[in-house]
Copies of this chain bind each other. A is one copy, B any other.
Amino acid sequence: MSTPEVPEGSIPVLDHGFVRLDDAMASDLSVVNAARVSFARHKQEMESEDEGLIGFLLRNRHGTPFEHNSFRFHVRCPIFVMREWIRHRWSSFNEFSMRYTRANDDFYIPALEDMRQQVGKPGSYSFEPVEPELAETARAEMEKANKASYATYDRLIEAGIARELARTVLPVAAYTEFYWTVNARSLMNFLSLRNAEAAQREIHRYAEVIEGLFAERMPLTHAAFVSAGRTAP
């Protein structure tokens, strides 16, 4: 099956994935107004003192003023990445369904420079590139395995087996897609955990792109988040 079209305005991630900001209702002003309602004040525009207020709120973990906004992302990523993403419960997901729709044959294969080994002890693992030769072999092995799985899937479907069963042989490298709607507070929690050293490199790449889109829409909030040591309020 052919790869689905890449929607306009999407940013490529990994070999067959993307992130696209579908819509947003987000501004630094929304944070300020939510906080100022404590004093029954409401503004039409940001003022110079408000940057300080945003920083104060973040450092003191006043989280609710960061919830009055919304980002809707359209994402395409491997299943194993989505499985980490969906742990973030204070947000909304709708995902591609392989129960009823036929899967396509896109699978994630790490680039040569991403083919890595795990070194160190439990609790403090790190990752280092493997030898180029091994990287090549591993890529070839993965590609072969994924293709074989897809061929089995294909044969099972052709023979009349229900898609919801045939899909069980597909690897977690298979690409899926979903809509994700999230507010800035929950988004910063996501970024603190996923755009971070301890995150698996693949979700890390997505989180970097997400962070860029967040920073564009809420620059003062983003700057305050970075200054506060990337801890979500």
Contact = CB atoms under 8 A, between A and B. Distances in A.
Interface in A1-50: 4, 7, 22-25, 30, 33-35, 37-40, 42
Instruction: Name the residue in A33, A35, A68, A96 with the highest tally of chain B Cβ atoms < 10 Å from its Cβ.
Output: A68
A195 interface: no
Contacts of A35: 94
B170 A172 contact: yes
The number of chain A residues touching the other chain, given as a range, is 35 or more
Contacts of A149: 145, 148-149, 169, 171
B171 A117 contact: no
A172 to B, nearest CB: 6
A96 B165 contact: no
B37 A178 contact: yes
A215 interface: no
Contact of A177 (B40, B146, B165): B40
A141 interface: yes
B30 A23 contact: yes
A221 interface: no
A68 B181 contact: yes
A150 to B, nearest CB: 10
5 A-B pairs with the lowest CB-CB distances in the bound complex, closest first:
A70-B70, A67-B92, A25-B25, A168-B173, A145-B152
